Amino acid sequence: MSDIQMNTAPAHRRHGSNIGQPLTRRDGVAKVTGAAPYAADRHPDGMLHAVMAVSTISHGRVVELDTDAASAHPGVVAVMTSENRPPLAVDPDEKTNPFAFRLDALQNDGVRYAGQPIAVVIAETIEAANEGVSLLNPCYAPEHPRVALDQDDAFVPPVVGPGMPAEAGIGDVDKGMADAVRRIEAVYETPPQYHNAMEPHSIVATWDGDRLNVDTPTQGLALSQGRIAELFGIAPENIHIRSPFLGGGFGSKGLLSGPIALGILAAKMVERPVKLVVRRDQMFGPLSHRGATRQTLRLGVDGEGRLTAVSHHTLATTSVHDDFVEPSSNVSQTIYASPAIATSHEAVRLHIGTPGFMRAPGEASGSIALESAIDEAAYACGMDPLAFRLANYAEVEPISGKPFSSKALRECYAQAARKFGWADRPLEPHSMRDADGMLVGWGMGTALFPAMMFEGHARALIRDDGTGAVEIGAHDMGQGAWTALAQIAADSLALDLDSTDFRSGSSDLPDAGIAGGSGHTATAGMAIHKAGEDAIAKLAALALADQASPLYGAGNAGVEARDGHLFVSGDEGRSESYADILRRAGKQQVEGNGTSAANPDAQEQYSLNAHGAVFAEVKVDPDFGQVRVSRMVGAFAAGRIINPRMVESQLFGGMIWGLSFALHEQAVTDRRTGRIMNADLAEYHVPVNADVPPMECLLVPEEDAHVNALGIKGVGEIGITGSAGAIANAVWHATGARIRNFPISMDAIS
């Protein structure tokens, strides 16, 4: 059968029942019993341990390292510094593409931020390596650092995030402000937040001549493979990366980081396998973070409570050596209708590690400011915050005028409000108390995140024993890809899950694209869907051309696939099993291939987003100002839900991070030294179980015919976006104190 004949065949329909099932994690037992191999669990024969030494100054040069003392310590095999490290094929400071960070890989003696790697000690044991690091006694030539938003001149960056213009707008904001009956102008500040996934970044690197085996957690197998190939001057196919499990990624494991490159360099230097695990305190530097912002919101509102203007300006931090800028203002382009909108960004260059992607980059920090300002505007108009949001509901995307591909936000508002009991909320702040005398407040926020897709590939096999296999180099950061993508895989072949061998998490499988931008299930899922379609088409072609098959000659009617059988559409009696078709054809298997990508026509015609609404209740101690979140209800509409159990977990995770954003998380920087003073999980606060209240998550049904054939929008990041603002607004409602610096602290309230 030639491809041309197959392409002219009628589309074959597939029936599966796995998508939509709330299955538990297929890898759950392996994980909780310790059988699931994380990168740092690997111990190849002859492996050495590498430990980074990192800078305690934030600007200047390293002038001396006592490498003799470190090398003399028993068990130390080598000390790698900028003077002796193996060469790289490409300068790590070269920006080879927008999706490559400039890396700190010991290219010189310069220091650009505190926590920058300045040496690596390689030893027989981790203890010896740590001791070697402590013997290095670095001497520096320090220079004065700039580490705060007010310490440098702001500039307008060419782009914020990859490919987003720094400025955008529609209409005349000045006129809109002049026309307004009420005006809100407020400045909101968000702190730097550092990635603290449960699993820190780690690598086990093994060279075999010019071939390289790498175990490392990554959100982008092919991206990492390509970047390593470029840096080390070897062919990508000579690099094998295994990344079956990640203990969290959240954006920090998307682009190759300096410490991973250092692990590979160390293995090259000592010609033995090397393991390098980033220590918790070392997470606060070279591994990207959510940069600090100062956001100025100006809203104009007419006599009916309708926005006449929205202006959202962000001043954000970036590093002295790279360009990522938190795109916080962009949220104001899409959520609320206004005839005039202006969004803009400026950045300052500081001696900090380069900021980067951190769960809902831009939207998380931008929405806490926008949702707070909207709440301020609602109160200024004497309106209920939900009624105000409904009065400013965007029927089309405000900045582009495009219709939304689907938008069940009204249903999200309604369902979450009903569940929460919002109708009983008094308008005035400081008007509710519980039986213990605690101030009680109710707040809400709108959640939104774009529905993105990237290019991805998959392979599907149907085998002569009637089983199938799907192969894709996808990434499970903990979100449940091993389960959700396997559900799509089984349905793509119209097989049950147990008959579908799902292989993932390795760079020798087809490139699934990056697991980021909440687009992985859509991207990998569509590649799988198409690969299955292709495999079924090839199998159908065999049957339709075979006189001995009950399906022979039924080409024009089309074929349906169900339960491992092909049927002639509309003629249930004519069917044959996959196994029989293949056996008679004398084939062990047929192979299908699928490629997915964002649909440019859909992007051109529609604004593609997931939506949600989050309601929060807080209780505030009237004497001490301590805030506890006592209830949260979120409702989200994100197109087709592959596995409601996994999706609920993702959304809870996002809502908890919103709680963290509002009340807990911040990196505190010493202005004199540029060092982060709370670089540990004792003082860098993230919510623990005792901080997390009863939460409910409602999944609002939504069909979207435009985002992709499966109708998947993505749920990884949206949960954080409405949640932080909802809590801030609840704190105001409890206390009457409008706190615009985050996280909200006790002293700011009392």
Residues that bind ligand MOS (CB under 6 A): 219, 249-251, 254, 357-359, 361, 516-517
Q: Which tokens hold the place of 487?
A: 């559900």
- Closest contact distance (angstroms) between CB of 404 and ligand MOS is 21
- Closest contact distance (angstroms) between CB of 500 and ligand MOS is 27
Nearer to ligand MOS, 575 or 708 (CB): 708
- Distant-in-sequence, close-in-space partners of 407: CB < 8 Å, separation ≥ 6: 609, 611, 637
- Name the residue among 183, 180, 173, 175 with its Cα closest to residue 344: 173
Give strand pairing partners of 140: 62
- Closest contact distance (angstroms) between CB of 516 and ligand MOS is 3
- Closest contact distance (angstroms) between CB of 631 and ligand MOS is 27
* Residue 528, phi then psi, degrees to nearest 5: -65, -45
Nearer to ligand MOS, 226 or 361 (CB): 361
Nearer to ligand MOS, 339 or 516 (CB): 516
* DSSP designation for 195: -
- Name the residue among 497, 467, 193 with its Cα closest to residue 357: 193
Residue nearest to ligand MOS (CB): 251
- Distant-in-sequence, close-in-space partners of 481: CB < 8 Å, separation ≥ 6: 474, 475, 504, 515, 520, 521, 524
Nearer to ligand MOS, 326 or 576 (CB): 326
Nearer to ligand MOS, 326 or 376 (CB): 326
Q: Which tokens hold the place of 638?
A: 């994100």
Nearer to ligand MOS, 39 or 342 (CB): 39
Residue with the two structure tokens 């950045």: 347
Nearer to ligand MOS, 251 or 639 (CB): 251
- Closest contact distance (angstroms) between CB of 80 and ligand MOS is 30
- Closest contact distance (angstroms) between CB of 96 and ligand MOS is 20
Give strand pairing partners of 440: 619
Nearer to ligand MOS, 219 or 487 (CB): 219
- Rounded Cα gap, residues 568 and 554, in angstroms: 7
- What is residue 157's three-state secondary structure? coil
Asked whether the beta carbons of 351 and 113 are under 8 A apart, the reply is yes
- What is residue 671's three-state secondary structure? coil
- Distant-in-sequence, close-in-space partners of 490: CB < 8 Å, separation ≥ 6: 16, 18, 468, 496, 497, 499, 500, 502
Residue type, 440: V
Asked whether the beta carbons of 425 and 379 are under 8 A apart, the reply is no
- Closest contact distance (angstroms) between CB of 452 and ligand MOS is 9
- Closest contact distance (angstroms) between CB of 346 and ligand MOS is 22
- What is residue 118's three-state secondary structure? strand
Question: With 0-12 CB in 10 A as exposed, 13-18 as middle and 19+ as buried, what is 680?
Answer: middle
- Closest contact distance (angstroms) between CB of 185 and ligand MOS is 30
Nearer to ligand MOS, 138 or 286 (CB): 286
- Name the residue among 524, 456, 517 with its Cα closest to residue 715: 517
Residue type, 397: E
- Closest contact distance (angstroms) between CB of 520 and ligand MOS is 9
- Distant-in-sequence, close-in-space partners of 453: CB < 8 Å, separation ≥ 6: 519, 522, 523, 526, 596, 597, 598, 599, 707, 708
- Rounded Cα gap, residues 594 and 474, in angstroms: 14
- Closest contact distance (angstroms) between CB of 509 and ligand MOS is 20
Nearer to ligand MOS, 516 or 743 (CB): 516
Nearer to ligand MOS, 213 or 218 (CB): 218
Angle of helix 363-380 versus helix 644-663 axis, rounded to 10: 70
